[in-house]
Amino acid sequence: MNKSALKPMLATLIDAPFDDKDWVFENKWDGFRLVTKIEHGTVSLYSRNGIDVTKKYAVLLPALKKIKHSCVIDGELVALDKSGRSRFELLQNALNKKARLQYCVFDLLFLDGKDMRKKPLLERKEKLKALLPRDALLLYSAHVPCSGKKAFAKAKRAHEEGVIAKRAAGLYYSGRRTREWLKIKTGNEQEVVVVGFTKPRKTRKYFGSLVLAVYEEGRLTYVGHSGGGFTQAMLKDLHAKMLKLKIDKKPFAQKIKWEQDTTWIRPTLVCEVRFTEWTSNGEMRHPVFLGLRTDKPATKVTREIPIT
């Protein structure tokens, strides 16, 4: 099997929900994307960018070894809050604490040596549901047909991240972002590259805020500062990581506020932030730190604007 076949299919962001009889709608899980390969009882886990993360997420292995077929499945590892909602920020230390983890699986790429990617989505999902064992760590991602607006309204009332619309007869395109899968978010979230940090103020320790950027046409572009969303432990841990990445030169040309109080770092750390809106000059308003992402290289982080 070609390693590129293990890279997950990606969804395109759009700005509004819709109803359509040719589409189905699933919950948009807020976690780490994981592709699982099971071959002759051996389980391997791969991140969104194809890195083997089996040891890191070994907690899933006993459940996945119950699957009695050779297969490749696609899903998302999530940490659930007290209301059962997936929350990305809870994943940061979930593997070291008693967090409620689940692997939410939603697609089947290969089954017993057969390439399922050329089969319609609903056929793939039917076979996926049939092969999953009963285990609290595994959850089949159910869908509803046609009624995207209702599914979105339900997600918004429950303060969930959004919905994913999928063409019911659609194929699976490994490693590609297509219009066959569409994501509609209930709020604004964005992956960003950490390029620096400011001095701490008042009683805060370690650092004041993160300096954030995205890549546009191969170059880093400043998109804002984030000073919210940190616990004391997160401040300490992130500060230690950033100190190892210190550089002398600013990694972009724009002039920004608080430069004299900024320590620049090599642009390798990727994090997720929640924000209210994009401003007219292309910056995020009120970005709040949710957590670091380890499943995507910094050079692939671009501004995500919904299409209409």
Catalytic residues: 28
For 99-138, the three-class secondary structure string (H helix, E strand, C coil) is CEEEEEEEEEEEECCEECCCCCHHHHHHHHHHHCCCCCCE
Q: Are 141 and 26 in contact (CB under 8 A)?
A: yes
Q: Which amino acid is at 232?
A: Q
DSSP state letters, the chain: --GGGGSPPEEEEBSS--EEEEEEEEE---SEEEEEEEETTEEEEE-TTS-B-TTTTGGGHHHHTT--S-EEEEEEEEEE-TTS-B-GGGGTTGGGTT-EEEEEEEEEEEETTEE-TTS-HHHHHHHHHHH----TTEEE--EEEEEHHHHHHHHHHTT--EEEEEETT----TT-EEEEEEEEESSEEEEEEEEEEEPP-TT--S-S-EEEEEEETTEEEEEEEE-BS--HHHHHHHHHHHHTTB-SS-SSS---TTGGGEEEB-TT-EEEEEESEE-TTS-EES-EEEEEE-SS-GGG-B----B-
